[in-house]
Structure 1
Amino acid sequence: MPKARNSQISLNDTPYYHCVSRCVRRAYLCGEENGKSFEHRRKWVEDRIHFLSTVFTIDVCAYAVMSNHTHLVLHVSKNQAESLSTEDIIQRWHCLFKGTSLTRLYLSPMSRKDLSEMQIETVRLTAEVWRKRLFDISWFMRALNEYIARAANKEDDCTGHFWEGRFKSQALLDESALAACMAYVDLNPVRAKLAKTPEESGYTSIKYRVQAAKAGKKPKRLMPFMAKPNQEMASSLPFTFVDYLQLIDASSRTLQPNKRGSVEQDLPLVLTRLNIELEQWLNLTTQFERRFKHAAGRLINLERYALNQNLKRIHGRQNALRLLG
């Protein structure tokens, strides 16, 4: 039986999560099938991801929009949501939904002064409900998947499910799991032989980041990397962009069958710091979903997660020992 979503998301254990949505029957509803192309829908998904990152207090670390499924690595910023004013919350929520008649009046300075104390208190209570939703991964995925499903059904002039009923989520319990999962996501098109190099992989975060870097900019819609090694910054990924590019480059070249074994054996700096051997790293970045179930990380973190979640069994124990140490 699938676990309840609220039991899979535990911000006390980690703010990082890997989420996967698959099309019904794993049909190619966003790619090409039976001579008909739906490639433009992948752009819909990417644009929606970028937009939602500006509404929710959930950072997008990595993504890959494939032909019949979508990968996302998300970072929940609860502190950011808690720092928002009532007006900020309402403005963000109204970007997605109509809200209520009272919240719409509240945003108008001329109309707000006519609201009674009881009405203003009602607005504040409503905003508190929305505040929690702004850092809720389930609401983020709902705002993504329902929007795409409606647009696709409208284009096809039909009704019915577009995505499978539930998205899959994995808790990423430490820096090692986070790095491996991000690389696994960014390398999806290369593994599927849809692109020769990561920077040519359409509708991925790595291509978006590289394009921004070439223009001398930081990607606005993605969580930034730390500026310098060992210089931790609030709201930044725990490694540098240069380190991450080294990982992606080494992994992508080794993944190609005709070049297997051609990569230099010297580990990229971040792998040395994470104490992960190259062979273990390649296993992680090609089979991440298969190696771990509800959560991924070093064994000590899996044990802590299982204790906090009242789990009788620790899934992925052997893989955690073998691949992450």
Structure 2
Amino acid sequence: MRKAAAGLRRKEEPLRPESELRHLTPSPLLEFSPSAPVSGAIPFSLPDYLELVDVLGRAIHPAKRGVIPESTPAILSRLDIDFDTFIATADQFLSGFGSAVGTPQHLAALAEQRQCRYLRGVGQARSVFGRAA
């Protein structure tokens, strides 16, 4: 994973301060494509990306505002996602949901807030988050 992470930033691009980056327009989300080099895709799997985010969040650096303490559980545990189910369904994780991802309770509350009968993905939410609606 270190090799993949190191290749994400071009060597000729200097790191820019956060105050400068704050003013940029957000880019659309990219899809994950671990097996094929797809233009405009993140070149590894979603579980690897989540692990990368978790590891980088735990790294201590003077230019970082904060750090995830070592005592904090891994990201999938913090999100209350069943690891085995997530790994088995990661390639279809987002396609199983509609416009939102969350626990069945959160999806039901969002449907109520949007004044609609349901949101697609409650079955996927039960499978991944392991909770009843």
Counterpart in the other structure of 2:121:
316
1:38-66 Cα shifts (integer Å, max 9, x gaps): xxxxxxxxx9xx8984116x9x7xx8xxx
Deviations 1:168-217 (A, max 9, x none): xxxxxxxxxxxxxxxxx6xx24x24335799xx9xxxx59x96xx69x45
Measured in 1, the distance between the counterparts of 2:119 and 2:21 equals 32
Once the two structures are TM-superposed, the CA of residue 308 in structure 1 deviates from its matched residue by 0.5
Which of 23, 29, 34 in structure 2 is aligned with 1:71?
29
**Corresponding letter in the other structure for 1:227:** I
Give aligned pairs, total. Answer: 103
Higher relative contact order (CA 8 A, sep 6+): 1
Q: How far apart in 2 are the matches of 1:197 and 1:290?
A: 15
Tell me the distance in 2 between the aligned counterparts of 1:299 and 1:289.
Answer: 15
Aligned residues of 2:98 and 2:120 also touching (Cα < 8 A): yes
Distance in 2 between residues matched to 1:196 and 1:273, nearest whole Å: 22
Residue identity in the other structure for 2:68: A
When residues 299 and 280 of structure 1 are mapped into structure 2, their CA distance, relative to the original with a 3 A threshold, is same
Structure 1 stretches lacking a partner, 5+ long: 1-46, 64-69, 73-184, 231-239, 244-268
TM (norm. structure 2) is 0.51
> What per-residue deviation string (whole Å, max 9, x for no partner) do you get for residues 150-181 of structure 1?
xxxxxxxxxxxxxxxxxxxxxxxxxxxxxxxx
The structure richer in helix per residue is 1
Query: Which structure: greater strand fraction?
Result: 1
Name the counterpart of 1:292: 97
The residue number in structure 2 matching 1:54 is 22
How far did 1:292 drift? 0.7
SS of match in other structure, 1:318 = helix
Which ranges in structure 2 are unaligned for 5 or more consecutive residues?
A: 1-14, 38-42
- Identity, % of aligned positions: 17
Partner of residue 193 from structure 1, selected from 15, 29, 36: 36
Deviation at residue 226 of structure 1 after TM alignment: 4.8
Q: Which has the larger radius of gyration?
A: 1
The two structures have a TM-score, normalised by structure 1, of 0.24
